Amino acid sequence: MSALFYTHTHTHTLLHHLYSFGSGHLTWFNKDVDKMYLASEPIKQIAQNRGNVPDTKISMIGLPIRYDFALQSDAMGNGGRTSPRGKSHQQKIRNQFNIDINKQMILVMGGGEGVGSLSTIVHELYARLYIRGMDATICIVCGRNTTLKSELETTDWETVATNILQPSGMQHAIHRAACRVPVDNIDDVDILGNVT
């Protein structure tokens, strides 16, 4: 009696898209992937140095952006945001969102979902502007994070400025470092621990 054996092997392609721009955890990199798509040269170096991912498996594609961002760029024209057309478009958008066109604007983003320590960063930013007597608009992208949006909408900003200014200068510097908000220079914290 004879038998006919047929073996079929399913093959799967393993692709890895890594959208981080500046750093990455060791577990994110595996040399056995078929292809790894990366956003930046620093991430490529980490993939090669930590994950032993060969250059032949890496494709540099940049950071993908939402199509709406590309539309805004197109609306500003080839001259970009500093061209007359770009400035006109920015003014139109500011008017659309009731943003004072006579103030500087700071855009704070933390990923597509508005996650991270955005609340703490915004509090620190507000306090720094308050300390310096600067009048600016802070626009925070909360994404779908309704908790963050609600918290920021109901924040008593005078209390934020007062509470952040209360700690000693060194505590303030440590707090800022923990929030990844840089201390401008050593003169910000004097020898007695007072914020200058």
- Identify which has the larger pLDDT, 24 or 150: 150
pLDDT at 191: 33
Q: What is the pLDDT of residues 107-118, one digit of tens each?
A: 888 765 545 678
pLDDT at 187: 41
Rounded Cα distance between 57 and 31, Å, is 8
The fraction of the chain above a pLDDT of 90, given in percent, is 8
pLDDT at 86: 93
The predicted model scores a pTM of 0.53
Rounded Cα distance between 85 and 102, Å, is 18
pLDDT at 55: 92
pLDDT at 173: 55
Q: pLDDT tier at 88 (50, 70, 90 boundaries)? A: very high
Asked if residues 66 and 60 have their Cβ atoms less than 8 Å apart, the reply is: no
- Identify which has the larger pLDDT, 129 or 188: 129
Q: What is the pLDDT of residues 17-69, one digit of tens each?
A: 776 767 777 777 888 888 888 888 888 988 899 889 999 998 888 776 777 87
Of 19, 107, 13, 11, nearest to 62 by C-alpha is 19
